[in-house]
Amino acid sequence: MLELGQNPEGAGGDLIKDAGEATFEQDVLDASKEVPVIVDFWAPWCGPCKTLGPMLEDAVKAAGGKVRMVKINVDENQAIAAQLRIQSIPTVYGFWQGQPVDGFQGALPASEIKTFVKKLADQAGDGGLSEAVEAAEAMLAEGAAADAAQTFAAILEEEPNNPAAYGGLVRAHIAAGDLAKAEAVLNGAPAEISHAPELEAAHAQLELTRQAENVAPLDELRAAVEANPDDLQARFDLAIALHSSGQTEEAVNELLEIFRRDREWNDEAAKKQLFTVFDALPPQDPIVLNGRRKLSSLIFS
């Protein structure tokens, strides 16, 4: 497992760099023992190279440090080209553990380049980041929000586009009561993962937490609903307070009761709130599955 906090580009240098005969062993063979390395063999006169190179670079950058890229001008490094039997360009090789493990010749569409880069990145696994995410989630579940936030942040240093770590970091700040920081983390998420389920869930959790700041105490709201079961605003606020206190299933039941009594109330607020609660939970959570089933029954009854 990589040490958390280590530069994801490692000690081997920049994520994308030019190399030659003098540095090939260090930049490619040695470096590929830490992280897969893509080698792009090109030449200034090669038209397809001018298209392929930038697309490769974009895919490597999007991989967030899981792979590196080395560019080799074959006109200036003919010995390497001969040794690796480069017969036409562009030619691309993927190295892992000092050996070529994949490659292709000619230009490819962007979708196939992304597939190639992902396949190569998967050779190295995730360096233990999945286990680190699980450990941080356990910390958060045990109430150690500060420790969880620190671990999630360290994971993001390794893999800046890790949606699970981003979502976890937002939820850790929410648990610590720092909603401004949670919102800042959400707003700073890379565009390519901004709609990932983990971030959508964190956004829903933040929305629910902000709502809870503006409702009356739980006992007061229970009393109000008991005194007047038709007070749908009090029941709606009760659902918010229940969710805030960790009684999610009870909150869902109150929202379902509002929908049963008046599905159009307050511009379908109960149904919208149910979807927000569902979004904040894992899709296969029993509360989500049962809640969606009950809501569907009410809709089609």
pLDDT of residue 4: 39
* 251-264: average pLDDT: 97
Q: Do domains 129-209 and 218-299 have the same CATH topology?
A: yes
* 274-297: average pLDDT: 95
What are the boundaries of each domain within the chain?
16-122, 129-209, 218-299
pLDDT of residue 256: 98
The number of CA neighbours under 13 Å toward the Cβ of 269 is 13
pTM for this prediction: 0.63
Catalytic positions: 46, 49
Specify which residues 100 forms β-bridges with.
Answer: 95
Q: Tens digits of per-residue pLDDT, 217-226? A: 999 999 999 9
CATH 1.10.10.10 fits 129-209, yes or no: no
| Residue predicted with more confidence, 87 or 262 | 262
Q: How far, in Å, CA of 199 to CA of 165, rounded?
A: 9
Q: Is the pLDDT of residue 261 over 80?
A: yes
* 178-207: average pLDDT: 94
Q: What angle do CA 78, 79, 83 make, to 5 degrees?
A: 115
Q: How far, in Å, CA of 199 to CA of 204, rounded?
A: 9
DSSP-derived secondary structure letter, 40: E
Q: Find tokens 């379902």 and name the residue.
A: 256
pLDDT of residue 160: 86
Average pLDDT, the chain: 91
The fold of 218-299 is 1.25.40
What CATH number was assigned to the domain covering residues 16-122? 3.40.30.10
